[in-house]
Amino acid sequence: MASTVAANRLELLQIADAVARDKSIDKQVVLTAMEEAMQRAAKAHYGTENDIKVDIDPKTGETHVSRYLHVVEMVENDKTEISLTDARRRNPETLPPVDFNRINAQNAKQVIVQKVRDAERERQYDEYKDRIGEVVHGVVKRSEFGSVVVDLGKAEGVVRRDEMIPRESFRAGDRIRAYIYDVRREARGPQIFLSRSHPQFMVRLFAQEVPEIYDGVIEIRAVARDPGSRAKIAVISKDSSIDPVGACVGMRGVRVQAVVQELQGERIDIIPWNPDPATFIVNALAPAEVTKVVLDEDTHRVEVVVPDEQLSLGIGRRGQNVRLASQLTSWQIDILTEAEESERRQKEFAQRTQLFMESLDVDETVAQLLASEGFATIEDVAYVELNELAQIEAFDEETAQELQSRALEFIEARNKELDDKRLALGVADEVLEVEGVTPAIAVALGEHEIKTLEDLAGCATDDLIGYYETSKDKERTRIPGALDGFNLSSDDTNAIIMKARVKAGWIEEPVEEVAEESEGEEPAEA
């Protein structure tokens, strides 16, 4: 009998060891699961009202079954209660081990399997949650509704259909490389999400092929991908003696070709990164040549002019080149040909000429002179220094004074008309009194139901000058604001809102720190 017991104990420890090794979990987790299974069986045998605990010695495999009783003065239920005197002799009470029948064995198996599975899931999550951003190798197990389940060795990952490179397919048994972009706990266990279309997958592939990137000498600053078709990466070298583009291409293109083959022939443009936005944008639009770049910092928009024959190259097939360049640089890029830009300049010149002719009641020659000198609005003429107008060829001081007088009269008449419109819209006088709000701005606010000081104070900058929304396809869409067309910067608009909040009593007028410091300074000695 003793030898049988010893064998059972040894077998118990061997089973725990084998399960722990097979599932890559701690042996104690398996023993704890066994203890819980035996505890349930003991409760079923002795009664669920009993407080029973089972301990397995991890060294010998010996099992101890104990029942704990509640110490009371007057014992009413001897199965759960014990007097103080008896407790000093036998609490906890040792019980004989329970023989496992078929039902107990089945229940025990379910408990152990569930506990081991939970421990295995926790181990997988702990192992992979810190590996987000890595490229892993695996073997395809099966396909499910277009997604691919990958055996990673000690866990499974999934590459969803939208994370695959278009037109590529995998069969069971194929080897696959993918990028871990997320690890989440879910009801069915930890889910390891893999991607082959993620921009960082290409970055990691280059790091594996280019030692200078792995060592940190060359840095990939930006990436834009149209998976399976074309990509652009911007690189910079921390060592001026190393050409970042040449290092990524490799001797006879061997390095870049290794990445291209993994990405199913995806064409990759390697571009030198530059801190100057205009230069970087020109580089990003390669292979197209750029003749002119005009940046708008406030809207983060850039206008690029290319030679007429370069337009299709700059835009690319189905707009691919300009779209990727826009993603790479984070600037919204508008491409014009030199002919289109010339036509637009001529149109703007004609519009300004017509504006001056109608507003200032001058002939075409005078209006064209003003437009060619860079005057764009009636305000430019009205408030410019008089000598600047007088210095224009064919103008004199008397002509300049007359032009400014007519400009001021026009502005006054227009403001009167705008003020009548403002009142008709119901825009309060307080709104017009806010510094920076012109009669035209007041009308535009009223047309967008911003009619009181509180309405204006409650606005956000984006409400007034608009903003851009980026879709899932990384396409940026312009959402207009109430003051579109006034060429206000974010700072200008924010200043108007802050002045409105001060005037409404929401906040206090900011104190000029420079003024405070100057007041506290002692007068300099002569």
Give the pLDDT confidence of 331-353 residue by residue, as tens digits.
Answer: 989 998 989 888 988 999 999 99
Per DSSP, the residues of 268-335 read EEEEE--SSHHHHHHHHTTTS--SEEEEETTTTEEEEEE-GGGHHHHH-GGGHHHHHHHHHHTSEEEE
Does 50 have pLDDT greater than 80?
no
For residue 280 the two structure tokens come to: 């970087």
Q: Is 412 helix (H, G, I), strand (E, B) or coil?
A: helix
pLDDT score recorded for residue 416: 92
Cβ burial 456-474 (10 Å sphere, 16+ → b, else e)? bbebebebbbeeeeeeeee
The region of weakest confidence among 119-128, 314-323, 362-371 is 119-128
pLDDT score recorded for residue 524: 41
Residue among 19, 42, 46, 36 at smallest CA distance from 111: 36
Does 122 have pLDDT greater than 60?
yes
DSSP state of 94: E
| ∠ Cα 187 190 191 (to 5°) | 100
The region of weakest confidence among 14-18, 155-159, 459-463, 480-484 is 14-18
The radius of gyration of the chain from alpha carbons, rounded to an integer in Å, stands at 39
| pTM of structure | 0.61
Does 4 have pLDDT greater than 90?
no
DSSP state of 51: E
Other residues' Cβ atoms within 10 Å of the Cβ of residue 480: 11
Residue among 419, 425, 463, 449 at smallest CA distance from 437: 419
Query: Which is more confidently placed, 470 or 211?
Result: 211
State mean pLDDT over 45-65.
74
For residue 213 the two structure tokens come to: 């990137």
**Cβ atoms 399, 406 nearer than 8 A:** no
Does 521 have pLDDT greater than 60?
no
Give the pLDDT confidence of 170-189 residue by residue, as tens digits.
Answer: 889 999 999 999 988 877 77
CA–CA distance, 112 with 32 (Å, rounded to integer): 9
pLDDT score recorded for residue 9: 61
Domains, the chain, ordered by start:
2-124 (3.30.1480.10), 132-195 (2.40.50.140), 426-526 (1.10.150.20)
pLDDT score recorded for residue 426: 94
